[in-house]
Amino acid sequence: MSPWSLVVGMLIPRVVTLILYFVGYFQGTVHVAVVALGLIFLPTTLLWYGVIQRSFAGEWGMVQVVGLAVALLIDFGPLSARRKVQAPRS
């Protein structure tokens, strides 16, 4: 996998979040500080939270919780790849 595909993969949720913020998608549902923190740390989770607030009227059910778990796995997925340490060769 090339380094550019990793960069593009990390930037897409952040760019989508910025676009949605400037068109007013998060207005009235998510505070600006939450958008700023979500943009830096958990962009996919922030996007899913925005969908829950806007499309599902803030109602939390099984689909929303499973979607949140998937979004968290996507956001934290690259961290687990960095932690893998190879065993010393004998």
Which residue segment(s) compose the domain that 64 sits in?
3-82
Whether 89 is covered by a domain: the verdict is: no
Summarised one tens digit per residue, pLDDT across range 70-84 is 999 988 876 655 555
Whether 16 is covered by a domain: the verdict is: yes
Q: What's the domain count of the chain?
A: 1
- Rounded mean pLDDT of the chain? 84
Q: In three state form, how does the secondary structure of 44-72 look?
A: HHHHHHHHHHHHCCCCCCHHHHHHHHHHH
Cα separations (Å) of 86 from 13, 14, 77, 89, 90?
31, 32, 18, 9, 12
Q: Which of 18, 25, 1, 19 is nearest to 78 (CA)?
A: 1
Whether 45 is covered by a domain: the verdict is: yes
pTM of the entire predicted model: 0.76
Whether 88 is covered by a domain: the verdict is: no
Over 90: is that where the pLDDT of 61 sits?
A: yes
Whether 72 is covered by a domain: the verdict is: yes
